[in-house]
Chains A and B, each alone.
Chain A
Amino acid sequence: MKNAYYITIEELLKSAELRIPGELQSGEHLIYSSPATLSYNSPGAQGFGVKRAGLVIPESIMLLIAPACCGRNTTILADEGGYSHRMFFLQMDESDIVTGRHLSEIPEAIEEILAVCETKPKVVVLCITCVDALLGTDLERVCRKAEEALDGEVRVVPTYMYALTREGKNPPMVAVRESIYSLLEKEERKMNQVNLLGFFTHLADDCELYDLLGQIGLDRVLEVGRCETLEEYRELGASNFNLILNPESRKAAFALEERLGMPYAELTRLYQIDRIRRQYELFAAALGTEFRLEEYHREAEQAVQELQKVCKGKSFVVGQVVNGNPLEMALALLKMGFEVKSVFAAITEEDYPYIREIGEYNPELRIYSTLSPTMMNYDGDQDVDISIGTDAAFYYPKSVNVKWNDEIQPFGYRGLKNFANEVAETWKRAAAAAGKAADDAKMNETKE
């Protein structure tokens, strides 16, 4: 029996073609299912999957048209997330798969649903799954037909929970981002307005990006996750340009450029302080202006210094279920002077710049894939002080864990500052608790 598969950065960089090993590619092996993988192996298993993401459109409800199994987790997730009253299901049976009869019943199903909704929705999001992918269902046509049948009473939007296409050109979480913006129409351009694309919620309120954009006259920063009404959502159609903050929303931005003539720019979420500054400088230069960054830079720097002091000599591991790119976060921690022993990641070619740089700091750093069947045999042979990410906590249960996976999104200097503060505070609390436990143990010994 083999141990859990990992590859060191050194080994990865040695391979002449810089090829990603098959063991790290989910299409090359069976996929191991563990609690560490629940957030991303199964689109929709936790957090924002296709179903919850589709409901980001304000005043919408969703009708999932699928075999019963596709909606099972919604029982739990929708209840916990408070959106169960917005989820409806049209369960397919075997004859539906053969005849496609269920598709012709959708307008009637929507009518029945509208009749029981306490607040009448303005948008119905239809979601289909793998079976319809195989049947070649034309959902856009189904949506058009439904809108016609309902005399335009509601807008009907297609979404696709096609797990089968996860490594394809249009994976589910990319496709759903495109769907979310599909109702935007061309409005008169407002030069002071910009859209942030990428997340289903919104940036943290204290993120400096709002202020920086305001500094250059973009004082209306819109995000779909902040829209409460369809009217507010429609205002996104008047923005000057889109700012992509998550690569999975690139396709949505391309579609908006093509359809509404709305240009886009892209910023990456980073935790390396020097790169954060550099990125903002380049962005501002491209717009022919400058940002006043100093205060934000200094704050973040101070937070990093405090983290370096509090966690001096501590070792880290970075998981995949985090608000950030785990390799970039590992690199940031290495640059701060910490030891990073392992990273859990599904690496892509876009990660190679980080990988090369990590090689300069710690060539022995291990990359694990939590989806590898060999993770069955993971034995936890490394001692690690601090784990970042929910999945990392699963593999390093004795470490002090910082989930860093809130739904409200961190970004930029304030993202780094808040991350550094949270790690430092969590470590201080854990150390205080451990100290108290040690004192208690000593006291008990004395008593005995």
Chain B
Amino acid sequence: MKGLRKYISPFSPDQSGSASVLFGYGGMLIIMDAGGCVGNVCGYDEPRWGGAKSAIFSAGLRDLDAILGRDELLIRKIRQALQDMDATFIGLIGTPVPATIATDYRALKRLLEKDTGIPVLPVETNGIELYDKGQEKAYQWLFREFLDESVTEKENRVGILGATPLDTTAVDSGAEFRRLVPGGVVYGMGDTLEDVRKALSAERNLVVSPSGLKTARMLKREYGIPYETGYPVEAESRREFMERILPELGSHILIVHQQIFANEIREWIREQKPDAKVTVAGWFRMDGILREEGDRHLEEESDLLKLVRDGAVDTVLGDPLLKRALPGWQGTYLDLPHYPVSGELHSVETSRDYWKKAGHRR
């Protein structure tokens, strides 16, 4: 049945994705909710939250706000809170409540910018779509608002898009990318708004998850900055991981993760096991250009079991929780944790730890 989840719980929603992109830029992030969504975003989808003082607020919407559309009350609350903190921008992050009452985010942006003089990024998420959609929208607003078009001089920079703790192996992945990619600036993980302003000085962009593709393509289309896709991993981690999984792999391997990460692992497997059939699938965005024949975008929970059975898949690499959606399947299941699926249940502190933990048989 459409939308029914019998074995696995919901994945990180779009609102968490947009918060993860904007988290580190010193803005005031306002989750447009009654209080429940902010608990989910902060407590369960943002591993950086507990370790840093971050300006994430709930709009504290109440039934009367929803019925009467009391935008002026929200503006007053924001103005009041701004007396107590410095914010480089105000991020308004949507949830199901404003989506249901059709909140006019553009109007809120105009009113708030006029009132406070601070840029407003209205990210119209709705709590229904998945995290990568929210990330995509947040990147779009971030670059639309802060990109400095007058920057023409190229520097030895590589812009890295699509990296937040939701798409990567650990909270230190930003630092790992900077080590592995000379001149790497990781948007959303350890950079600043100044780096976003200077985005046109990059010689190229590297997209590590599909949520960064739309912005990378916009930067190529409008400013001529080329991009490529891929997921950089330290050679030692890759070697250890491949040594672990190779003896376990069968003839039809399914990788379930964010697409670019999964594609990367597919290439590693192909290098060492060229005869194996390797399919990539997932509930998150599957970009058409990056998709190979046989790759699948999953809609429903039951699609995974159907794909595995119909495709005679004998090995699955995926988040440990997803195995529950394969009742009765007897193949080999190898762990490949993904934060938007299992959150902190299978998260680790460092990327190094991730690769030590990944690839074990479940």
Contacts and interface: CB of A to CB of B under 8 A. Distances in A.
Contact of A164 (B62, B86, B127, B343): B62
Interface residues of A, number: 69
Nearest to B63: A164
A55 to B, nearest CB: 14
Interface stretch (A90-98, A273-281, A315-323, A398-406): A90-98
A33 B36 CA distance: 11
Contacts of A80: 345
Given A31-B57, A163-B34, A164-B34, A75 B13 contact: no
Contact of A69 (B5, B40, B58, B321): B40
B200 interface: no
A78 B10 CA distance: 12
A168 B58 CA distance: 18
Interface stretch (B43-51, B141-149, B181-189, B256-264): B43-51
Interface string A15-31: 00000000000111111
B58 A33 contact: yes
Interface stretch (B74-82, B201-209, B273-281): B74-82
A22 to B, nearest CB: 9
A38 B42 contact: yes
Nearest to A172: B36
A440 interface: no
A249 to B, nearest CB: 22
A78 B15 CA distance: 21
Interface string B130-174: 100000000000000000000000000000000000000000000
A89 B10 contact: yes
A213 interface: no
Interface residues on B, range: 35 or more
B233 interface: no
Contact of A91 (B5, B12, B81): B5
A38 B39 contact: yes
A376 B26 CA distance: 13
A380 to B, nearest CB: 12
A43 B37 CA distance: 9
Contacts of A102: 3
B1 interface: yes
Contact of A67 (B56, B84, B127): B127
B114 interface: no
A29 B36 contact: no
A292 B158 CA distance: 78
Interface string B56-90: 11111111001000000000011011011110000
A11 B82 CA distance: 25
B9 interface: yes
A135 B100 contact: yes
Contacts of A26: 35, 60
Interface stretch (B91-99, B244-252, B288-296): B91-99
A1 B3 contact: no
B55 interface: yes
Interface stretch (A108-116, A252-260, A416-424): A108-116
B166 to A, nearest CB: 12
A198 interface: no
Q: Which residue among A1, A41, A164 has the maximum number of chain B CB atoms within 10 Å of its CB?
A: A164
B30 interface: yes
B1 A91 contact: no
B180 interface: no
A361 interface: no
B11 A130 contact: no
Given A68-B128, A84-B9, A45 B4 contact: no
B3 A30 contact: no
A102 B127 CA distance: 16
A69 B15 contact: yes
Contacts of A133: 63
A116 to B, nearest CB: 5
Contacts of B343: 75-76
Contacts of A109: 1, 4
Contacts of A373: 57, 80-81, 84-85
A75 B35 contact: no
A29 B43 contact: no
A42 interface: yes
18 contacts: A28-B77, A30-B57, A31-B38, A33-B58, A42-B35, A66-B96, A67-B126, A70-B40, A72-B11, A73-B39, A73-B44, A91-B5, A91-B128, A97-B100, A129-B96, A164-B34, A165-B63, A167-B62
Given A72-B40, A131-B100, 15 more contacts: A31-B60, A33-B31, A41-B58, A42-B37, A69-B16, A69-B95, A72-B10, A75-B44, A84-B9, A92-B128, A94-B99, A94-B126, A164-B66, A373-B84, A377-B84
Q: Closest 10 CB pairs between A and B? A: A42-B39, A69-B127, A45-B39, A163-B34, A69-B13, A68-B10, A75-B9, A89-B5, A163-B36, A31-B58
Interface of B: 1-7, 9-16, 30-31, 33-45, 49-50, 53, 55-63, 66, 77-78, 80-81, 83-86, 95-97, 99-101, 126-128, 130, 321, 327, 341-345
